Structures are given as C-alpha cells and as structure tokens.
Amino acid sequence: MAQIILSAAGAGGLLLCGCAQFKAMDQPKPFKPTTTVVGTKRVNVAGELGSPLNSEEQNGHLVDTYKYVDGGGKNNAGSKICRVVLYTAGDLFTLFLDQIITWPAETYGFAGTPHIVTVVYEKGSDGFWHIQEVTDVEQVAKKNESSKSEGGSPKAKADATGAKPMATPPATEAVSTNAPASTTVTNTPPAS
C-alpha cells in the first residue's frame, strides 16, 4: 500500500514538477544594446531593438521609444543551467516540495530588468536619422523613487554616487533635478 501511495505521489509530482526549472530556462538573456551611441543611424538601432513602441516628430527631431528586458548577469547560460540542476535535485530529495520556495524565487528574484529607452534623432547631411540623445526612462524613474525613499534629493544622490553620462554603450543615465521622471543622457561617439 505504501508503494502505491509513493508511486502515485511520484507520478503526480512528475506531472506538476519543474515549474521553477522551466521558469529558469525562460528568463531573458543578458542584453546590453550596443547601438545606443550618439551618431548611430536609426536603422541600426531598429535592427537591434526592433520597431519602436512610439515614434513622433518634435521640433524637427524624431523621437522613438523602445522597450527591452535585460536579464542581467544572473541569467547567463551557466547560471540558468546551475539553477535547473539545483532545482531538479531539490525536487528529487523533497518530493517537489522545494517548488514552494524555488518557483517564487525564480519568478521574482531572477526576473529581468525592463528598460524603456527614448531616443532622439536628428536628420544628418546624408539624409538618415542619427542619434542625438538617449534616455533610459524606466531606470531613471526607479533610481529617483529609491533616492526619495532613502531621503535626500536626486541630485545629491547623483553627486554622492558620482553618476555621470558615459561615452560608451549602453546608454547610462544621470539624475537631474530638472526632470524627476526621466533624464537625458547625451553620449559622445567613441574617438577613432
């Protein structure tokens, strides 16, 4: 009788198992856009980030909004494989009870970071649109929220951390007191 119960529990567990494993393998890969540098043609940006969510012309400039998810270093191939092996071993030793912990940990702890990027283009002499400014709106808004909750002004936090615009991709963001919800970063093309 005990064998039948264990067999039924094992068969039921096999049907329900692996939620954390499948979630781990489904997490987004690390992604750092390389085309979000001042001077890059719009067609190259669209080739990497896909079609923009929104595109509009403002004061002779074209403004595109893109969205992507960066899995970060925690979701590289080696990390995913290690987690799947660990979760599978946990399933075997705990009769799938570890899924109570591993599935939420995988869902919330290893989720990718969403980015909403606004790119401002200007028309070049060659007739193509070229990047003039790049803003990572989502990340700047999160930094502003965390600095407000920790106390102090966003500018003071930026000065304390030494946040500055960088000249290398991906576009980085600096906190500005003029725009609490988003900040513009102007990248300079790399010197050749």
pLDDT higher than threshold 90 for residue 189:
no
Q: Does residue 100 sit within a domain?
A: yes
Angle subtended at Cα 101 by Cα 100 and Cα 102, rounded to the nearest 5 degrees:
105
Q: Output the six-digit token pair for 144.
A: 């502003």
pLDDT interval class at 174 (50, 70, 90)? very low
Q: For residues 96 and 91, what is the distance between their CA atoms, to the nearest angstrom? A: 4
Question: So what's the pLDDT on residue 173?
Answer: 40
Question: So what's the pLDDT on residue 3?
Answer: 72
Query: Are the C-beta atoms of 25 and 71 separated by less than 8 Å?
Result: no
Q: Does residue 41 sit within a domain?
A: yes
> To 10 degrees, the CA torsion angle through 132, 136, 137, 139?
-160
The pTM of this model reads: 0.63
The residue written with tokens 């001077």 in the block is 39
Domain that holds residue 34: 16-135
pLDDT higher than threshold 70 for residue 152:
no
Q: Does residue 81 sit within a domain?
A: yes
Percent of the chain predicted with pLDDT > 70: 64
Question: So what's the pLDDT on residue 165?
Answer: 39
Q: Does residue 176 sit within a domain?
A: no
Q: Does residue 131 sit within a domain?
A: yes
Amino acid code (one letter) for 160:
A
pLDDT digits (tens, 9 = 90+) for 118-147: 999 999 999 999 999 999 987 666 666 766
Q: Number of structural domains, the chain?
A: 1
30-34, 139-143, 155-159, 160-164: least confidently modelled range: 160-164
> To 10 degrees, the CA torsion angle through 56, 58, 61, 66?
-40
